[in-house]
Amino acid sequence: MELLRLGEIGAEIPAVLHEGVVRDLRPVTGDIDGAFLAADGVARVREALPTLPELEGAADLRVGAPIARPSAVMCIGMNYAAHAAESGGEPPSIPILFFKHPNTVVGPYDDVPLPPGSTKLDWEVELGVVIGTRASYLASPEQAWDHIAGFVTSQDLSERTWQLEDSGGQWSKGKCGPSFNPLGPALVPVSELADPNALRLWSTVNGEPRQDSSTADLIFDVATVIWHLSQYLTLEPGDLVNTGTPEGVALSGRFPYLAVGDVVEIGIDGLGAPQRQRVI
């Protein structure tokens, strides 16, 4: 079961893909957002599946981000040892947190505009965690699973000059350009994945391999990340947590940065079809 939002920007229709059929979720909810998730929305969808109508013309609709605009987008930096090394740093001893503006979240196939003057636009495939219920001061990492709605494929696009040279010591300037967080296509509930800490994730640019790794290589696994964040802030339903990217980005010096006309594809096993963005 995969939760989707289909249609033009601002008019997306909530839907569910199950056994190859896209069904209309509007009998259950007006949108896939924090309120829906907090009200046991995933369970309600599963219960309603036998009665939901097929969504006519679904294949012709734009694919939007699978969650409506989150109240927060939190990101964990350098959470794969090899990526930390290619970035010139040591693996962190505690999770590194930075934020993206929620308006960076766009659909998985939307074009990405190259910002004016940008020369170091970089790709980053990441496992995204969507919060289902409020989490604050969790007692242990194991408790995190009670607060996670599901997982998404997330693209943490980064402008490295803004991030590292114009930052003043913080990274968020380089993370918040327009369309800098393509998301989806699907929100996959926790129960649909055997082990989110053992998923292959990959990226290509113009068909050429870039990243190819596994979430098994996370320094801080999913539950640890959510537990750790809850000690410092309150995670709300619908919030997105990007858990870090593996090695193979342009920052390594092994590949050129993105330019107009480039096509980036990313994917994570078990989380629906791959993303595809064109730089315009």
- DSSP letter string, 132-152: -S-B-S-SSGGGGGGGEEEEE
Same-domain check for residues 50 and 167: no
pLDDT of residue 82: 81
pLDDT for res 187: 98
Query: What's the start-to-end Cα distance of the chain, in Å?
Result: 33
Q: Residue 277, Cα to own-chain centre: how many angstroms?
A: 14
Task: Report the pLDDT value the prediction gives residue 194, as an integer from 0 to 100.
Answer: 86
Chain centroid to Cα 91, Å, comes to 22
| Residues in the chain, pLDDT under 70 | none
Residue 277 β-bridge partners = 264
Same domain, 91 and 188: yes
Q: What is the pLDDT of residue 157?
A: 98
Residue 205 is predicted with a pLDDT of 98
Query: Tell me, what CATH number does 271's domain have?
Result: 3.90.850.10
Question: In 10 A of CB 78, how many CB atoms?
Answer: 19
Whether residue 18 is found in the same domain as residue 94: no
Residue 67 falls inside a structural domain:
no
Q: What local confidence, expressed as pLDDT, does residue 83 receive?
A: 78
Assess if residue 68 is contained within a domain.
no
- Do residues 149 and 253 both lie within one domain? yes
Query: What's the pLDDT score for residue 85?
Result: 78
Give the pLDDT of residue 87: 73
| Residues 149 and 235 placed together within one structural domain of the fold | yes
**pTM to 2 decimal places:** 0.96
Please report which residue ranges of the chain form alpha helices under DSSP H.
34-38, 41-48, 81-86, 160, 222-230
CA distance 124 to 248: 9
The tally of domains found in the chain comes to 2
Domain containing 36: what range?
Answer: 2-60
Is residue 66 one of the residues assigned to a domain? no
Structural domain includes residue 65 = no
Helices (H) and strands (E) in the chain, counts: 5, 17
**Beta partners for 235?**
135
Residues 47 and 103 in one domain: no
